[in-house]
Amino acid sequence: MSTAIAFARRCAAQAALLLCLVLPATLPATGAAAGAPDASSGRSPDATSSGRSPDATSSGRSPDATSSGRSPDATSSGRQILVMLRIPPDHHRPGASYGGDYGNEITIAQRRRLAQNIAQHYGLGFVGDGWQMPLLGLDCYVMQVGPDETVSSAMKRIAADPDILWSEPMQVYEAKAAPPAADNDPLFAVQPAAVSWSLAALHRVATGRGVVVAVVDSRVEQDHPDLAGQFAASQDFVDGRPGSAETHGTGVAGVIAAKSGNGLGISGVAPGARLMALRACWQTKPNAANAATLCDSLSLAKALHYAIEHDALVINLSLSGPPDRLLAQLIGIALGRGITVVAAYDPALPQGGFPASAPNVIRVATQSLPAAPAGVYLAPGEDVPTTQPGGKWGLVDGSSYAAAHVSGLVALVREHNDHPPDPLLAATWPAGGDIDACATMLRAAKPCDCICPNPAKSAMATQ
């Protein structure tokens, strides 16, 4: 029996008055994965209805077992998995309009019931309401693994289910900032980039005007006097963790696009850029400036999806962690659409950690890194003054802020060039090493009246 008929039977059982005519969906090329189970093979015609009763979700579970409504924290996320379900293509979904309305409430509710049914069938907890990701042609659901089973064994058990594209552990990522020094002077006025990058000269050529930079990070203080008015969008993808502005996101945003010429604090590398403040991370101790900043793979995926759909030109990811298939596919889509992705490089992790290890991502470390591997760019990342919560300024360190410098520089380049050169950055080596910001601008926006610190390199950049 075809997959379409099997799916129709399941839909009919869930909504007797709803006609289901569904064809197998095809993922975008970036979403196809070797080894993913094929929906048309290896399953008996009655497996869906007999193996998982459509009524099982509502008949055998307590109401609060369905959804906690809370984003997983760093502890519980170690026992959670992300389960990806294929969505039917446009015009073959029940109730779909010919305008391609992915968000139809009836079809979303149907897919959620299917996911709840899957969770109960395999003895997994169902967390939250799921997240629709039309860019990848899938829905993503969080499921909790029981205490008597490992995450890997749970993933193996559900791998053969034809309704599941794939599953993966809920990963945890950490922002790459060093603890701040004690008694920082909040009005310290010396910015490393002002000297090494000739920042004032660069701003005579470009300020990043009109370029949208997505800051995927912790909560940014948007009314900070050096940041107010710099934002194109703001979204919070971390459920269940309300609170005030957070240190890391506010600092990264300031390095990229703090206002210039206002007589306050600092000047961002790209003060004319527009920021998307996309909260996907949280500060583990809200009132401690040196507390770790963590993110999980689902909150990051939501933020990336938003940035891509809302036309960011640059995405800053000042964080690092383990490889992740869902995030890798979203980054691939972003790059395919001409979005520049910048990530912090962590020398303590294999290949510098993910997402820095993803192909074609610009990976950035601090200039103090003793020996940068090929392909790693070096930018200012020590004793960097930047914006901090409470309308303050302070000194920060770490590859997070080096990456933020590069995102700002990319915004300067992209103000003048919708199709920037490859490689985009001029540096010590063809792809990596100390960045020559002025030579980068010379190559991207000729002519340039800035004075470059290395005339020979800059001349090479214009050839």
C-beta neighbour count of 75 within 10 angstroms? 8
Residue type, 21: L
257/278 Cα distance (integer angstroms): 15
**From 139, 161, 163, 217, active-site residue:** 217
C-beta neighbour count of 88 within 10 angstroms? 22
- Active-site annotation holds for 400: yes
**From 198, 400, 407, 458, active-site residue:** 400
- Active-site annotation holds for 248: yes
217/246 Cα distance (integer angstroms): 9
**From 203, 224, 248, 405, active-site residue:** 248
SS3 label, residue 293: strand
461/463 Cα distance (integer angstroms): 6
- What is the H or E stretch that residue 282 is in? strand 281-283
**Counting Cβ atoms within 10 Å, is residue 422 exposed (0-12), middle (13-18) or buried (19+)?**
exposed
- Active-site annotation holds for 53: no
324/333 Cα distance (integer angstroms): 14
35: Cβ contacts below 8 Å, ≥ 6 apart: none
410/394 Cα distance (integer angstroms): 24
Catalytic residues: 217, 248, 400
